[in-house]
Structure 1
């Protein structure tokens, strides 16, 4: 990958989009992960206003520490970057106290994990409206168009997606070029939606390099019959997530009414 050209292309694209939208810049949620670190740095390179927002909800301390390290470094490098922290834990706890909590615990935990992401989305759009900013998405190609590993109307609710055409490995290449802190570069990818340090790989059952391979094979029209052993397992994992999360990746279906009915 021609990293410098890709970086310049994304930065120019961001700047052009924001200018045409007549906004002041971008707001982005900082998680302490590679995707938000790369995206916020790309936004900062536009020279437009960039607001980095921390939104902890019972967050693991390692995630908080990495997020704060990145924001501190970014502010030291770019004068157009500001930050704020919104502690959403009380809001989350208040929500939990008002909703039904009966039934299977695993199902409840997943619903609450997605609620965390949606509370964060709401917060970002509040600041976007307050300061006339665009919400910059942090999803990469594998997450957004492969396994659908994001929350619908949560971290999937954004105005534009600067790195969504890049594989996770390519995002790491940009991270190196953009001087993202080593602590983030070396950390295991994690969505941080359960209040602990569980990794994306632990949740999905496959690593990002494996998922990139499976995505390529799937796009080439391969089937599980073409593989055996671990490759077959990974391919099936990818296919299962891709199928189950297709509703996130496709436009909202519209029930078209026949003209004779109107």
Structure 2
């Protein structure tokens, strides 16, 4: 990958899109992870406004600290970057208290993980409308089009996706060139929706390089029977997520009414 040229291409694309949309800049949620760090830096390089939101919901302290230090770095290097903290923990807790009880706490826990992402999406769009900004998405190609590892109408609810055609390993390559903090580059990827230290790999059962390999194998028309051992296991994991999350990757189905019935 011609990393520096890819960076220039994305920055130009972002600036052109915002200009054509008559937008003053971008708003983005900063999680302390690699994707939001890279995306926010690319947005900052356009020279347009960049509002970085910190939206903790029972967040692990190390994630909060990494996010804060990244925003400090952005503010130091890009004069039009600024921060806004919105503590969503009380909002989340109040919502939980308002919901009816369920049979098991694990059932509630699973449902509420995605609720965190949707509260953040609502907050991002509040500031986008207030300031005339575009909501920048942070999903990469493997997450968005491989395993669908994001929340529908949560972190998937955005105006534009600058890095969605980049594999996770390519995002890391861009991070190195951009000068992203090494603590972010070295941190294990996590969606931060559980209030603990579980990683993406813990949840999925495969690393991003493994998922990228499986995605390539699928594109080449390979099947599970073509592999053995760990490769077979990874390909099975990829296909399970890819199949189950197709509803995230295709347009919302519309029931078309036959002309004869109208």
Q: How does 1:24-103 map to 2 (within 5 A)?
A: 24-103=24-103
Matched, 1:224 2:224: yes
Give 1:107 shift. 2.7
State the partner residue of 1:255: 255
Matched, 1:202 2:197: no
Q: What is the distance in 1 between the residues matched to 2:24 and 2:119? A: 23
Q: How does 1:181-192 map to 2 (within 5 A)?
A: 181-192=181-192
State the partner residue of 1:135: 135
Alignment gaps of 5+ in structure 1: none
State the partner residue of 1:244: 244
Q: What is the distance in 2 between the residues matched to 1:154 and 1:225? A: 35
Q: What is the distance in 2 between the residues matched to 1:36 and 1:106? A: 29
Q: How does 1:94-133 map to 2 (within 5 A)?
A: 94-133=94-133
String of CA shifts for 1:43-94, please: whole Å, max 9, x gaps.
Answer: 0000000000000000000000100010001110000100010000000000
Matched, 1:215 2:191: no
- Aligned residue pairs total 262
String of CA shifts for 1:153-184, please: whole Å, max 9, x gaps.
Answer: 00000000000000000000000000000100
Q: What is the distance in 1 between the residues matched to 2:218 and 2:191? A: 24
Q: What is the distance in 2 between the residues matched to 1:161 and 1:87? A: 25
Q: What is the distance in 1 between the residues matched to 2:61 and 2:70? A: 14
TM-score calculated relative to the size of structure 2: 0.99
Q: What is the distance in 1 between the residues matched to 2:104 and 2:236? A: 26
SS in 2 for 1:51: strand
Q: What is the distance in 2 between the residues matched to 1:46 and 1:156? A: 23
Alignment gaps of 5+ in structure 2: none
Q: What is the distance in 1 between the residues matched to 2:94 and 2:33? A: 27
Q: What is the distance in 1 between the residues matched to 2:218 and 2:43? A: 32
Q: What is the distance in 1 between the residues matched to 2:100 and 2:146? A: 32
SS in 2 for 1:173: helix
Greater mean alpha carbon deviation, residues 6-15 or residues 96-105: 96-105
State the partner residue of 2:193: 193
State the partner residue of 2:145: 145
SS in 2 for 1:236: helix
Over aligned residues, Cα RMSD in angstroms?
0.6
Q: What is the distance in 2 between the residues matched to 1:54 and 1:221? A: 42
Give 1:109 shift. 1.1
Q: What is the distance in 1 between the residues matched to 2:229 and 2:104? A: 33
Q: What is the distance in 2 between the residues matched to 1:18 and 1:151? A: 25
SS in 2 for 1:27: strand
State the partner residue of 1:160: 160
